[in-house]
Amino acid sequence: MKRTIYSLFVLSLFGLSSCTDKCKETRTYRRYTNISLTGTQVRQGVKLESARALEKPGKIYTKDGYLFINELKEGIHIIDNRDAGNPKTIAFLHIPGNGDMAIRDNILYADSYMDLVAFDLTNLANIREVNRVQNVFLNGQFEGGWWSFNQNNVTLSDQRVDYVTETMETNCEDGLATQSWRNCPNCVTFDASFASSSSSVLPTTSTGSNGTGGSMARFTLYNDYLYTVGQSDMQLFNISSPASPRIGEKISLGGGIETIFPYKDKLFVGSSSGMFIYDNANPAKPVRLSVFNHARVCDPVVVNGDIAYVTLRSGTTCQGFTNQLDVVDIKDLLNPRLLKSYPMQNPHGLGVDFPNLFICEGAGGLKSLDATNAMGITQLAHITGINAYDVIPIGQSVPGGAKTVLMIGKDGLYQFDYSNPQQLRQLSKIPVNRPY
């Protein structure tokens, strides 16, 4: 008996030596490596290639039943989406350093690092470069990696992005105290990871036939002008002759510029510190009116009429400690008024095709809401089991066709028919093979 007790006691002492907490954090992050390219390498890199899989989808643009999906820094996937139930990838237009696009009539405008390139889309099997405005963008960034163009030696400095997963030991006490994020340092690049962080069927006023982009786009069209925003400037291009864009006014905006979208005869320019409002009564020379402080760029915003829908989400670097949908009256643009807040799980992107409102809840799936009454928004449907980041209601691609909403998830681009918003019907899924 005593022997047993002694044995147990000794065993316990051995146990003491193993009484050490073991905690390991696994982290996946982006790693940057400096590279250099010549201007010639960039300009000769444009070519039409066979279709390929989506890996890092960026901005999405739609026109006449076709989807144009940016592959970050690589080019544009062209997808025939006239039958949303069976989208067909047609080709991949390789454009080095491409991040944004806009389409007027049959002309596609795309950035290629420092240049603006115009392509003729008349024959999608034979897309041709028709014009190029050189050296208009001198710096920018993709996935947080900065590039800059030196006009003197015609050399481009860029940063290659690799995805790294590593494991490290911790003190087992992370998450003990309140995290404090004082500002929004990474917001400026937020949209680049998943194209448009928020999108809507945007009103466009123009003389030609435009496509539809997201509200996080850096390119937008209005009347005879293409508006592009860089990190600190707004560069206008006169496209009265679409195939021959001419460089126009350049307006200094300040730092941290992310997005531009037209609203009535105003231009909203999103920066990491707020939203600038420009009066666009004279489209050749927008004039700054004011700063709209309510919405931070980290918070996806969509607008319909005089109502803005804003989602606030916790767990980001943007101070968000609540998960909710805010409905804001913006009749007076200078004095927005919060009408009502609705609790949400973990809202990411959202999109509106009034009265249908769609909200991505991250791992919580996709929600379809009825926004007819701003004070009484009701949930109509909730799709779970998918990781939803962003949503773009593109309506009817072709007359009489299904009303389609495009949802960007972790593993693919989903399309749902929301003709009956109470019962979203999955039409198709375009797989995305993300590198992480």
Partner 1 sequence: MKKIIFVGLLGLTASVGRAQAPAFKRAFTNMTEVGGLFGRVDYSTQFSETVENRLSLTAQTFNGVQLRPRLAVGGTVGIDWYAAALLMPLCAGIRYDLARDTQKNVRVFTSLDAGYGVAWLHQSVSGYKTTGGWVLSPGVGLRIGRPGVANFTLSMSYKRQEAHVEKPVDGFYTLARSEDRVYNRLAIRLGIAF
Q: Does 18 sit near partner 1 (CB under 8 A)?
A: yes
Ranges within 249-288 binding partner 1 (CB under 8 A) = none
- The distance in angstroms from the start CA to the end CA of the chain is 58
What residues from 26 to 65 belong to the interface with partner 1 (CB under 8 A)?
26-30
Whether the Cβ atoms of residue 233 and residue 426 lie closer than 8 Å to each other: no
How far does Cα 214 stand from its chain's mean position? 7
Number of residues that bind partner 1 (CB under 8 A): 48
The binding track of 129-158 with respect to partner 1, each residue x by CB under 8 A or -, is: --------------xx--------------
Nearer residue to partner 1 within complex by CB, 27 or 182: 27
Residue 267's DSSP bridge partners are 262, 278
Mark 156-185 as b/e (b = at least 16 C-beta within 10 Å): bebbebeeeeeeeeeeeeeeeeeeeeeebe
CA 362 to mean position of chain CA atoms:
15
Handedness of CA 427, 57, 399, 261 (dihedral sign): positive
The beta strand positions in 244-286, using DSSP E, are 246-252, 257-263, 266-271, 274-279
Which of 23, 281, 291, 338 lies at the binding interface for partner 1 (CB under 8 A)? 23
Find the shortest distance in angstroms from Cβ 16 to partner 1: 6
Pick the binder of partner 1 from 152, 168, 343, 375 (CB under 8 A).
168
CB-nearer residue toward partner 1: 209 or 324: 324
One residue of 189, 209, 223, 341 binding partner 1 per CB under 8 A:
189
User: For partner 1, which is the closer residue by CB, 17 or 50?
Assistant: 17
**Alpha helices (H) in 167-268, listed in sequence order:** 190-193
Given candidates 190, 309, 358, 416, which one binds partner 1 under the rule CB under 8 A? Answer: 190
The verdict on 193 binding partner 1 (CB under 8 A) reads yes
Q: Which two tokens stand for residue 332?
A: 């007076």
Nearer to partner 1 among residue 187 and residue 371 (C-beta): 187
CA distances from 369 to 130, 200, 352, 363 (A): 44, 14, 9, 18
Backbone angles phi and psi of 195, in degrees to 5: 50, -125
Cα–Cα distance measured from residue 332 to residue 335, given in angstroms and rounded to the nearest whole number: 5
Please give the Cα distance from 277 to 435 (Å, whole number). Answer: 37
CB of 267 to partner 1, least distance (A): 26
Of 86, 179, 293, 426, which lies in the binding site for partner 1, with binding defined by CB under 8 A?
179
- Which one of the spans 90-98, 102-110, 186-194, 241-249 is the region binding partner 1 (CB under 8 A)? 186-194
**Is residue 173 at the binding interface for partner 1, with CB under 8 A as the rule?**
yes
Does 12 bind partner 1 (CB under 8 A)? Our answer is yes
Cα dihedral 292/296/302/303 (nearest 10):
-10
Measured from the CB of residue 31, what is the shortest distance to partner 1 in angstroms? 10
DSSP state of 335: S
- What distance lies between CA 290 and its chain's CA centroid? 25
Task: Give the residue with the Cβ less far from partner 1, 31 or 246.
Answer: 31
For 307, the token pair is 């109502």
Closer CB to partner 1, 64 or 174, in the complex:
174
Q: Does 6 bind partner 1 (CB under 8 A)?
A: no
Nearer to partner 1, 193 or 238 (CB): 193
Q: What string marks each residue from 302 to 321 as x (binds partner 1 by CB under 8 A) or -? A: ------------xxxx---x
Interface positions with partner 1 (CB under 8 A): 1, 4-5, 8-9, 12, 15-16, 18-30, 143-144, 163, 165, 168-179, 186, 189-190, 192-193, 314-317, 321, 436
